[in-house]
């Protein structure tokens, strides 16, 4: 294994440990140390042509094994949670799975991970409450990198934000986040009048096979997280949410290239996807939003809310809001990548 790929599996192992998945941490560490090129799968991983971190290579690999486990692969059943085995037994199970399912694992590497982490909705909610309070208008939502659209339905979920509560207490989707710092304006009148999303590989929440692929990227020892995302998939399927297949820059240019409707605020949102966009695509979106902002008015404002990794901290995402026509650009807070905590203000 080339050094940069070996190092990226080690980096991901540490990240998984910090994000509360000791099993996936062990998996990445073992694969980084022991995977060989004797299979098509191993050879493709070891000779990966792209950037392993930007392409989330270790998470593609982990997702492939979890998909097999969820399908009942005998080689993995005894070694995966809730069972506990030592490193030798786990590696033996992984090696056996590679031998038995080489083609499946090789093909699984084709697509980037899509977790559609619904607990990020706590940070989204905080941002949307600010937009609603500051504009006093109902919202038209637009999400890029929307995957199955779980976060587009954020306002239908029940929230526990530290000691505070917001939303539908009876919702099957319960978002629990440790909230640090000031609270967003929980009393703001938040009303979403339309929601649209795009993704290069959109997932239909009502499609069983696509749901399984999404769930395969959720770490197998995080059972509460798995249950929460399954509940959000059910809710999204019932709501009939459909995500458009489109390039992010093309879609933003189209949707924000026309005037907004008076009496409504248009909001572009995205979570943990910006890093996967090529620099020219990022530049086109920036330009499109600046142009839309130039045409914004008080009764037809434009907002851009993102929850994205940045250079400030490598273990959390910045929650940033830009708002036109007032021209503000601020970091509202920071959030754990999986929404376990939010630090506001």
pLDDT along the chain (345 residues), means of 10: 85 94 98 96 94 92 97 94 96 97 97 89 98 98 96 97 96 96 97 96 92 94 94 94 96 96 97 92 98 97 96 87 96 94 95
318 and 197 share a domain? yes
Give this prediction's pTM.
Answer: 0.87
* Confidence at residue 99, expressed as pLDDT on a 0 to 100 scale: 97
The Cα 116–Cα 200 span in angstroms is 14
**Residue 274 and residue 309 share a domain:** yes
Are residues 331 and 222 both part of a single domain?
A: yes
Q: Is residue 113 part of a domain?
A: no
Examine the domain organization and report whether 132 and 60 are in the same domain. Answer: no
Cα-Cα-Cα-Cα dihedral sign, residues 218, 224, 198, 179: negative
Alpha-carbon torsion (116, 119, 125, 126), positive or negative: negative
- Cα 62 to Cα 78: distance, rounded to the nearest angstrom: 17
Distance (Å, whole) CA 97 – CA 74 = 8
Structural domain including 60 reads: 3-108
For residue 196, report the phi and psi dihedrals to the nearest 5 degrees: -135, 150
What phi, psi does 217 have (nearest 5°)?
A: -85, -10
Tell whether 304 is covered by a domain. Answer: yes
pLDDT of residue 75: 87
227-240: string of b/e by CB count within 10 Å (b at 16+)?
A: ebbbbbbebbbeee
Q: Residues 166, 170, 174, CA angle at the centre, nearest 5°?
A: 60
Distance linking the first and last C-alpha atoms of the chain? 43
- Of 264, 256, 254, the C-alpha closest to 300 is 264
How far apart are the C-alpha atoms of 177 and 344, rounded to whole Å? Answer: 12
Instruction: Quote the pLDDT of residue 170.
Output: 95
Number of folded domains that form the chain: 2
User: Is there a cis peptide before residue 325, judged by omega within 30 degrees of 0?
Assistant: yes
Residue 228 token pair: 């929460």
Residue 19's SS3 state is coil
Q: Is 129 part of a structural domain of the chain?
A: yes
Long-range contacts of 98-101 (CB under 8 A, 24+ apart): 98/39, 98/41, 98/42, 99/39, 100/73, 100/75, 101/68, 101/73, 101/75
161/198 same-domain check? yes
Q: Are residues 139 and 236 in the same domain?
A: yes
The percent of residues in the chain predicted with pLDDT above 70, rounded, is 100
Q: Are residues 39 and 99 in the same domain?
A: yes
Residue 289 within any structural domain of the chain: yes
Q: Are residues 185 and 301 in the same domain?
A: yes
Regarding whether 305 and 260 lie in a shared domain, the answer is: yes
Looking at the fold, whether 100 and 124 belong to one and the same domain comes out as: no
Task: Give the pLDDT score at 275.
Answer: 87
């Amino acid at each position: 294994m080339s050094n940069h790929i070996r190092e990226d599996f080690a980096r991901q192992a540490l990240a998984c440990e910090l994000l509360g998945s000791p099993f996936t941490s062990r998996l990445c560490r073992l694969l980084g140390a022991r995977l060989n090129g004797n299979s098509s799968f191993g050879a493709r991983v070891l000779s990966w042509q792209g950037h392993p971190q930007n392409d989330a290579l270790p998470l593609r690999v982990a997702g492939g094994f979890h998909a097999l486990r969820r399908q009942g692969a005998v080689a993995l059943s005894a070694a995966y949670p809730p069972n506990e085995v030592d490193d030798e037994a786990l590696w033996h199970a992984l090696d056996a799975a590679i031998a038995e399912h080489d083609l499946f694992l090789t093909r699984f590497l084709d697509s980037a991970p899509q977790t559609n982490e619904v607990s990020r909705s706590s940070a989204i909610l905080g941002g949307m409450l600010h937009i609603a309070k500051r504009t006093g208008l109902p919202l038209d939502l637009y999400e890029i990198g929307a995957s199955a659209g779980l976060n587009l339905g954020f306002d239908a979920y029940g929230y526990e934000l530290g000691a505070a509560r917001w939303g539908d207490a009876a919702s099957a989707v319960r978002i629990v986040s440790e909230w640090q710092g000031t609270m967003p304006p929980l009393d703001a009148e938040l009303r979403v009048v339309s929601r649209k999303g795009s993704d290069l590989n959109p997932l239909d929440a009502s499609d069983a096979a696509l749901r399984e692929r999404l769930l395969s990227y959720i770490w197998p020892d995080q059972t509460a997280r798995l249950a929460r995302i399954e509940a959000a998939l059910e809710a999204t399927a019932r709501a009939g949410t459909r995500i458009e297949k489109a390039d992010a820059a093309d879609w933003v240019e189209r949707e924000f290239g026309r005037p907004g409707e008076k009496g409504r605020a248009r909001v572009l949102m995205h979570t943990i996807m910006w890093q996967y966009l090529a620099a020219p695509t990022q530049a086109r979106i920036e330009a499109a939003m600046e142009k839309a902002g130039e045409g914004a008015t008080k009764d037809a404002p434009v907002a851009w809310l993102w929850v994205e990794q940045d250079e400030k901290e490598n273990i959390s995402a910045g929650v940033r809001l830009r708002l036109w026509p007032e021209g503000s650009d601020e970091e509202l807070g920071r959030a754990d990548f999986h929404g376990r905590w939010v630090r506001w203000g």
